[in-house]
Structure 1
């Protein structure tokens, strides 16, 4: 991908590269996992990791997007803002993980292997660590260091693959989960050294403003409320599949979702770049949003064509049975990423304008539609029903957004911290 000199597109492209690289190495990770571990272990491990992501998403209070929104104008308050967000999110995520472990016997008995002292402690620590991991992406993006977002994800992915192999050699039942925990620790240490010792001081030196933004608690509360529904839509579907169809079908769904979800991440990462630049140049929000829309559509349009055409070959990397059961699902997920571009840009434009009614409403509607349609369609169509649910949801949301685009795509009249 040829990188533009324009920070809007350059940073967005680098974040997209990060997602693509993570997806590629993630595919390698899960391909190796399916060959080195039983399908049941893969399915249950993925469900446990999905729960980690959900709890970290709940516990980090959407402070990653908060950092993207407010760090560009924070000046010498930047370091304190980042560390405060780290402490709050890690603490809340750890408490959420502890609460989940107490409820495992009642709501997720298939994850009872997490209830041993060592495994439980690792689960709590990994959940807290992953909340910080997500936020450091937001902090790096906000200080215009997306290259380090690429680097941290490469470190995380490569260490994770190495530890996965070690777990297989040692025949660890929890080898998949242990590899995530170990890689997470390495990535956090390396990335935060760069962020706090180099990137933040440079950001402070070149900042022309050092504002204490007003109304941040109200903004953060509303943004967090909406993000919970978006996170639930992304992370609860694997648990619904596990509950209704069992561990084997959960494994087939999980691998297709991993590949399809990266297309959603590309749109979201380009949206993060839009948000950073909109804060720096509020009057150019409409111009920037339209440019991101064009570039994202061209980028994802090509990617979707490839995924739709090569879906069987992609899934066969994990095993013939994954291609047999997941090809149609993957194609539907890929197609759903195109209308998601409109939804993602609408959410980030609303954040930039600090008009969160659209952002919250869209995320609530997404969650209700995806989870409702998934529960309705799984018994009839199997895991393919989840793909139909995502495609239908995104089309239902994107269509009115296009029709009434002047309602949400408007300029910010002046600097808005």
Structure 2
């Protein structure tokens, strides 16, 4: 009688476990790295939700609202000062070879300095453009705000660098470190009754995560990447590419980060808190699509002839993954928000459902932008992001007075549908095997 093949020490259970792991982490680097980046977003969001749940229990709603608005400005200012060099690293590090370390360090230095300058400039304008954030003007809090902005710019770039050298597992690790330290420091701030405890917890957690992640990146991952590289190319027309990509990213990030400030200025701190927590959950779905797209760009640099094939696979895969997630969020929205408190479920459920639905057409928009970036055809990428920003901010301003915070959700859903529809109808214009480039 022939001997049955062994299934290992766990028998059929072990086979099932291995099959599940293979499904989540396939051998194909396109999907494996994309899955790890998506898991990073989910882990970060899960732990981030714990952070905000604790914040809503330890701090007043007004403090939560103004703190989230301040952190939203930190993200916006870091995006301005970062010059979109994270995406630049994703695009050019895979082929940089022994130039990789220098490329990363130059990007770090430039973005940290510019972000700090931009943050200081914003603080000078707070009395005029954001009087609700006046608490930032005390010396200690102002210093922490500037440090958080510069640190977050580098934090975002190290994600791009780790992705580019195919170390997405450490993107997960650094986000876990950041979230856990942040939660611990939040508790210390609450125990000391610090009004700025939420902001201070971010600064301390950023410092720890930056040290750990960059030790791994610069001492281990980058040398290994340089040894494995078959060629080392200096980025051609890098400044022109970076300038165009940066211009588009500013409009995209403005759409993401200005809306919370609009809610604060138009509806007050309490409504800002309800909006912020729903946005945190809904934005995770946008991050999943963006992270999967980063994996697409990395693989496209190495195998440009397979870009269309990879894009179609990623489009189907992301649609299936996010379609399931969106259905769950729409169904469970009240329960998800109730973890923050019953008032968050009462005021934010409709908004969260609208944001979740908008994540589906965003898949097409996000992947189209990544395809244009991989091919260095940035005129269309910039144009789409400008239209996105104008529509989101314009519709939000129009709808907030009548629909409340749900108006922002309607703005996102309408905007994404209006952008995705023509991209699907005329997909042959961007999803082709053409080799031409433009910047």
Asked whether the two chains share a fold, i.e. TM above 0.5, the reply is: yes
The aligned residue for residue 177 of structure 2 is 155
Deviations 1:336-364 (A, max 9, x none): 00000000000000001110111101100
Q: CA shift at 1:116, angstroms?
A: 1.3
The aligned residue for residue 98 of structure 1 is 120
Q: CA shift at 1:71, angstroms?
A: 0.2
Conservation of the 8 A alpha-carbon contact between 1:53 and 1:235: yes
Worse-superposed segment, 353-362 or 394-403 = 353-362
Whether 1:68 and 2:90 are equivalent positions in the alignment is yes
What are the within-5 Å matches in structure 2 for residues 228-243 of structure 1? 228-243=250-265
Conservation of the 8 A alpha-carbon contact between 1:17 and 1:150: yes
| In structure 2, distance between residues paired with 1:114 and 1:29 | 21
Q: What is the aligned counterpart of 1:55 among 77, 81, 93?
A: 77
| In structure 2, distance between residues paired with 1:374 and 1:218 | 33
The aligned residue for residue 353 of structure 2 is 331
Could you state the TM-score of these two structures normalised by the residue count of structure 2?
Answer: 0.94
| In structure 2, distance between residues paired with 1:252 and 1:188 | 30
Q: What is the aligned counterpart of 2:245 among 218, 223, 243?
A: 223
Deviations 1:23-61 (A, max 9, x none): 111111001000000000000000000000000000000
The aligned residue for residue 381 of structure 2 is 359
Conservation of the 8 A alpha-carbon contact between 1:279 and 1:416: no
Deviations 1:278-315 (A, max 9, x none): 00000000000011101100110000010000000000
Secondary structure of the 1:392 match is: helix
| In structure 2, distance between residues paired with 1:159 and 1:295 | 33
Conservation of the 8 A alpha-carbon contact between 1:16 and 1:269: yes
| In structure 1, distance between residues paired with 2:87 and 2:199 | 27
Q: CA shift at 1:411, angstroms?
A: 2.5
What are the within-5 Å matches in structure 2 for residues 385-396 of structure 1? 385-396=407-418
The aligned residue for residue 194 of structure 2 is 172
The aligned residue for residue 305 of structure 2 is 283
Conservation of the 8 A alpha-carbon contact between 1:358 and 1:408: no
Conservation of the 8 A alpha-carbon contact between 1:353 and 1:412: no
| In structure 1, distance between residues paired with 2:52 and 2:219 | 34
Q: CA shift at 1:110, angstroms?
A: 1.3
Q: CA shift at 1:415, angstroms?
A: 11
Q: CA shift at 1:117, angstroms?
A: 1.3
The aligned residue for residue 273 of structure 2 is 251
Conservation of the 8 A alpha-carbon contact between 1:281 and 1:415: no
Conservation of the 8 A alpha-carbon contact between 2:378 and 2:438: no
Q: Bigger radius of gyration, 1 or 2?
A: 2
The aligned residue for residue 319 of structure 1 is 341
Could you state the TM-score of these two structures normalised by the residue count of structure 1?
Answer: 0.99
Q: CA shift at 1:412, angstroms?
A: 5.4
What are the within-5 Å matches in structure 2 for residues 333-412 of structure 1? 333-411=355-433
| In structure 2, distance between residues paired with 1:402 and 1:209 | 36
| In structure 2, distance between residues paired with 1:361 and 1:409 | 17
| In structure 1, distance between residues paired with 2:437 and 2:422 | 29
| In structure 1, distance between residues paired with 2:107 and 2:39 | 26
The aligned residue for residue 144 of structure 1 is 166
| In structure 1, distance between residues paired with 2:434 and 2:247 | 23
Secondary structure of the 1:211 match is: coil
Conservation of the 8 A alpha-carbon contact between 2:260 and 2:272: yes
| In structure 1, distance between residues paired with 2:293 and 2:438 | 18
Conservation of the 8 A alpha-carbon contact between 1:282 and 1:414: no
Q: CA shift at 1:413, angstroms?
A: 3.9
Conservation of the 8 A alpha-carbon contact between 1:59 and 1:92: yes
Secondary structure of the 1:45 match is: helix
| In structure 2, distance between residues paired with 1:222 and 1:416 | 10
The aligned residue for residue 213 of structure 1 is 235
Gap regions ≥5 residues in structure 1: none
Conservation of the 8 A alpha-carbon contact between 2:163 and 2:294: yes
The aligned residue for residue 13 of structure 2 is none
Q: CA shift at 1:372, angstroms?
A: 0.3
Mark the CA change 1:135 to 1:412 in structure 2 (over 3 Å): closer, same or farther: farther
The aligned residue for residue 265 of structure 1 is 287
The aligned residue for residue 53 of structure 2 is 31
Conservation of the 8 A alpha-carbon contact between 1:282 and 1:411: no
| In structure 1, distance between residues paired with 2:387 and 2:367 | 16
| In structure 1, distance between residues paired with 2:246 and 2:187 | 37
Conservation of the 8 A alpha-carbon contact between 2:377 and 2:437: no
